[in-house]
Structure 1
Amino acid sequence: MTTLDAARFATGGRRMRGRITAAWWYTVAGVLAFEVIMALLIVSVSASLTDSGLEVALVAIGSAIWVAATVPLLIAYRGRDETDPVRGRTLALLLVCALCGAGAWLVTGMWVATVFAIAQPIVMLDWPRGVRVRIVIAITILLAALWFIDVQRHVDTNSATFAFFTVATPAMTVLTLWWWDILLMLDTARLSESRTSAAQERLRIATDLHDLQGHHLQVIALQLELIDRLWERDPAAAREHVRIARESVDDARQGTRDLARGFRTVPLADEIANAADLLQAAGVRTEVHVDARSSDAPVDVFGPVIRETTTNVLRHGGGSWATLSLALSDGGVWRYEIANDRASQGAPAIDGSGLEGISRRAAEAGGGVDVDQDGARFAVTVSVPATGGPA
């Protein structure tokens, strides 16, 4: 697993969790919007059924209390465990909602408004899978029947909008929460897939290393056994086997280096594409410009630089956009530039140790680093000559 992959688990993972958290609050806002609309409609109906301003004010206060009482139930839905939907605190909140519904009935005389006040929080409880569906179907049918009864009793519902929201809001609430459940499952599956991929990669590396080292160690063991047998009666042959054993040791070391280099070396176009994917997953709008001749650029210099600068953008940038480019100038100099905006001009865009490491790598290749800070824009440009001379 590359350094960029590790950063994807760390900073990128936290950013994705942040986006999931934002989606949860969008879900909460959507459900509360349904409830606020219903509260306003009930107040409107109350105003049309009574001439008493005091009664209308009491209904408005009760509606506000009802909305406030449903908020803890809605927030508790996020940490549900589907084991015990009814607890002491939940019962207290349901009692408050029932009292608010009773107050609405005293003013309006509408059964549908009274039952809705307790039905809406019920569908938001932590019911086991499959139970909530049956409950919401039963509540929807009950509310529709009560609305029909109220109409037959000549209770003015003021508008068809009131009837629609009263009957449909519990179902719309459940659909909204169901959308959140799906989003949460997808995020969990994404994290599980990432961990599984990392585990498979570690297993593959372990297998390759075992095969490589196992072969050479077996050869060395056989050579040492022959040396032990030949040391006294044929020293010349023993020394020859010592030489062969040394060669096997050198081959094992070189094979290990080649194996590690094969895992570390990634084409620069892929490095930049991976960096762009990581930035986009963190919510950063990203543009990429890569020279078609990027395969000729020094991978050992630019590879770590790309990973380091990408990690620093995620760690310190906090902005909304970033651009990455790798191009060969007419003077035969490879230039890699990463630019981004910062959440605040005072926030550091890259730490000192990271910039020092980038400068050291560029200097070893005869190149240099240029840092440009222009207001909220921060850019790091690394220049390395294609011929190995000074940039």
Structure 2
Amino acid sequence: MTAGSARPALRRFPAAPWSPDSTQVSRRRFRALNLSMMLPLLVAVGVLLLVRQAQTVLDVVVLGLGMVAVVVAFERWTVGQINRVALPCLLVAGAVWPYGVLVIGGDPQAAYYALAVVSGLSVAQLPRHRAAAAVGISAYVAVVGAVGLVRHPDPGVSELLASVVIPTGVTVVLIGLMFPNKGFYDVMAELEEARERDAELAVMRERMRFASDLHDIQGHTLHVVKLKIALAQKLVHTDTARVEQELSEMYALVGDTIAQTKELAYGQRRLNLSAELENARNLMEAAGMRVRVDRRSEAGAGAIDLLAQVLRETTTNILRHSRATLVRIELTGHGITVVNDGVADDTLPELRGLATLARRVADEGGELTVRVEDGRFVTAAEFTAPSAARTDPPE
């Protein structure tokens, strides 16, 4: 493959999406607020109207049933379960209204109060046919009021207002006001669900980060130990001093891995880029590769840890998956590039470790790419964000 003869294979890893059940907590807070502020007001208004209109014990009982329907409907409405009691509450409130008009008479405020409140709470929460239900209830209120008006011995404008216009108008207004109220609660619920999804996503991403770091630490160490064991097996009968050296290095490496795992578990792990460069050089040279390191400038504070992880993962991939003889590592103030030969074909392998790191690099304002170019495998991490490009004193 020659330069310009074909477009190099390139994989750009996509950036990660932007990142106690808060929805249930918010619903409980809204419920407590409604029960403490609105329910006492509804009961107080209902009791006041009942005292003004009731004339007998039967009147108190019937109008009281309307108040019970109001309390039950409101309590269920605060927990989003109004549809379970909507029909029985509407039937009770609907029966109180004609009783107040046709039996009690006078100004039937207490009689239509229950129906207006219950219908206002119920209609907006219906899954369908809300407009038809609103029209039907309003028409029912108007028709019952008109029947009571016809039975009045000498109806006038005041009786028309008290029996038809005001009850119907109040019912229509309350039902109409609850539609935007439902929209407000729906928006709040969507926002809370979005926050909950973001929190779950953050937890999942943190778990993936932890798993990736654990893979970097232990996977890298295990592969190096495997190589050293293979070397020790070859030399066990010919160079015992070298075997003892390899065993000593494996012992130290395993101890260092245990320490890094503990640091990772307690959130104290920070990689040293200079140490990773030296470690990468030593490992690849021990595997028979020629390594050239070009360190032009120091990386920024926000990039050091991620660049060290990219270098470690790339080193592991070269040792495991390639037949490289020459590796070039170039470090600048904005990123790192690792190029190795020994590529069998132009097909990009599945690199899960680098894919996970790519999402973390993207979160910090950078980009991680891998590509096959002119028979060489290129891994490049580049940061463009100012915070990542900020330079530090040399290590």
Q: Calculate the TM-score normalised by the size of structure 2.
A: 0.47
Q: Calculate the TM-score normalised by the size of structure 1.
A: 0.48
> Greater share of helix residues, 1 or 2?
1
Larger relative CO (CA 8 A, sep 6+): 1 or 2?
Answer: 2
Structure showing greater radius of gyration is 2
